[in-house]
Structure 1
Amino acid sequence: MPHFTMDYSANLDGKVDFDALCRVVHAEILKTGLFETGAVRVRAIRSDAYAIADLLQENAFIDMSFRVGEGRSEEDKRRTGEAIFKSVTEHLSALFQTPHFALSLEIREIDPALSWKKNAIHPRLRKAGS
């Protein structure tokens, strides 16, 4: 159950192709070999209201949060985070040419006792061999 969410400042509209960025992250998650295809969720959520640093209108952010189920080692989580952060940083390299962009990533483990799921996608993909 890897859920990857990007909250981003609305002033990045037109500067970042979030559909493409979601696919970059999706590919990195699958490359780890730690997660089933049917479990991966990547989404971007626009923040219309925000206040960043010194409040300059140019200031922008993407805050990435990756929630994963238990069972991965600290090393696996660290390697996954580093790979995703590297790919996203490369994809967004133009934004780092200005002094107005902040990028962050946090990985959190989901407590299985407090998580409920029902997924009709898994059986279809497992049957297809994906």
Structure 2
Amino acid sequence: MPHLTIEYSGNLEGRADIGELCDRLHAAILATGLFELGAIRVRALKAEHFAIADRLPENAFVDLNFRIGKGRSADEKRRTGEALFAVAGEVLAPLFETPHFALSLEIREIDSELSWKRNAIHPRLRGQ
């Protein structure tokens, strides 16, 4: 369970390559060596309606919400967050050339007692 949800303001369509962002963040998650391939999910959700700061129409945001299962050290979580934030910053760098963009990331641990999963992908990737 590492699930990364990218929420972004709809006015980024045509201004940011969200597909590349998904691909690069997926690769960064895998590169940490902390998560099994079959568990990684990266998805992007466009916010059609939003009101940002002083409500200028060019204001935009990308919010990264990374949900993971328990079991990683504070240092592992910090390094993972830094890696993800760096990748997002690289992909979205042109947006920082204006004073109208905000990027955020939060890592949340999931309580395994309150999380249900059924995954048919794991056996295939594990060769079972």
Q: TM-score range with shorter-chain normalisation?
A: over 0.9
Give the structure 2 partner of residue 126 of structure 1: 126
For residue 89 of structure 1, give the secondary structure of its aligned residue in structure 2.
helix
What runs of 5+ residues in structure 1 fail to find an aligned partner? none
Cα displacement string for residues 25-77 of structure 1 (whole angstroms, at most 9, x for unaligned residues): 00000000000000000010000010000000000000110000010011100
> Quick check: 1:29 aligned with 2:29?
yes
Give the structure 1 partner of residue 85 of structure 2: 85
For residue 55 of structure 1, give the secondary structure of its aligned residue in structure 2.
coil
> Quick check: 1:4 aligned with 2:4?
yes
For residue 61 of structure 1, give the secondary structure of its aligned residue in structure 2.
strand
Q: How does 1:18-97 map to 2 (within 5 A)?
A: 18-97=18-97
What runs of 5+ residues in structure 2 fail to find an aligned partner? none
Q: TM-score, normalization: structure 2?
A: 0.98
- Per the TM alignment, residue 18 of structure 1 is displaced from its structure 2 partner at its CA by 1.1
Distance 2:91 2:54 in 1: 26
May I ask how many residue pairs the two structures share in their alignment? 128
Q: Identical aligned pairs, as a percentage? A: 63
Q: Give the CA RMSD over aligned residues.
A: 0.8
Q: TM-score, normalization: structure 1?
A: 0.97
Distance 1:9 1:73 in 2: 32
